[in-house]
């Protein structure tokens, strides 16, 4: 009887250990460290950048667009996350190692004498994948990936010319 009790206790302890071990393998109970990216600025620094841009924005709005032009774009977290996954997949299929994103300023075309708003779009950047056995120089890892589809169609500011913070 004594051996049976030890066996049952050993099975219970083993099952508990296995349960905790397996649950930690999927990372659900292990937190990843939060890493502050390079280039993070303070809200005060962002205010300086935003207010310094005011004269350019006024010039564009008053002399080119002839109405308050767009100053910002917004994408949902899901759209940005999905785009990063999509761009990684597309970059790989085009033979590139994706290393980042670049955001461009653009403008919609004039339609019926109405100058289009400013917009922003992002493109994946990276370098060509090296073929095994090849040698030589490669392009920088931050070049735009040719043939990759950029992400546009973010939501403009509301109103379009609103300043930071919005």
Q: Write out pLDDT tens, residues 26-69.
A: 555 567 898 888 888 888 889 898 889 888 888 888 888 788 88
pTM of the full structure: 0.68
Is residue 166's pLDDT more than 80? no
| Token representation of residue 53 | 């841009």
Helix%, strand%, coil% for the chain, nearest 5: 40, 20, 40
| Token representation of residue 139 | 């392009």
In this prediction, residue 82 has a pLDDT band, given cuts at 50, 70 and 90, of very high
> Residue 139 has what pLDDT?
54
Mean pLDDT over the full length of the chain: 80
- 3-state SS string over 34-103? CCCCCCCCCHHHHHHHHHHHHHHHHHHHHHHHCCCCCCCEECCHHHHHHHHHHHHHHHHHCCEEEEEEEE
């Amino acid at each position: 009887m004594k051996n049976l009790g030890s066996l049952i206790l050993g099975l219970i302890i083993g099952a508990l250990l296995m349960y905790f071990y397996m649950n930690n393998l999927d990372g659900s109970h292990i937190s990843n460290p939060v890493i502050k990216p390079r280039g993070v600025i303070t809200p005060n620094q962002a205010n300086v950048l935003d207010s310094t841009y005011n004269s350019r924005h006024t010039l564009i709005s008053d002399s080119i667009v002839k109405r308050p032009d767009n100053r910002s774009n917004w994408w949902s977290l899901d759209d940005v996350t999905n785009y990063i996954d999509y761009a990684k997949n597309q970059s790989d299929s085009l033979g590139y190692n994706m290393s980042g994103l670049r955001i461009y300023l653009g403008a919609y075309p004039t339609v019926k004498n109405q100058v289009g708003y400013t917009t922003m779009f992002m493109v994946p950047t990276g370098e060509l994948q090296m073929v095994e056995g090849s040698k030589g120089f490669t392009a920088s890892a931050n070049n735009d990936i040719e043939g990759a589809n950029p992400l546009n169609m973010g939501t403009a500011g509301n109103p379009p010319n609103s300043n930071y913070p919005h």
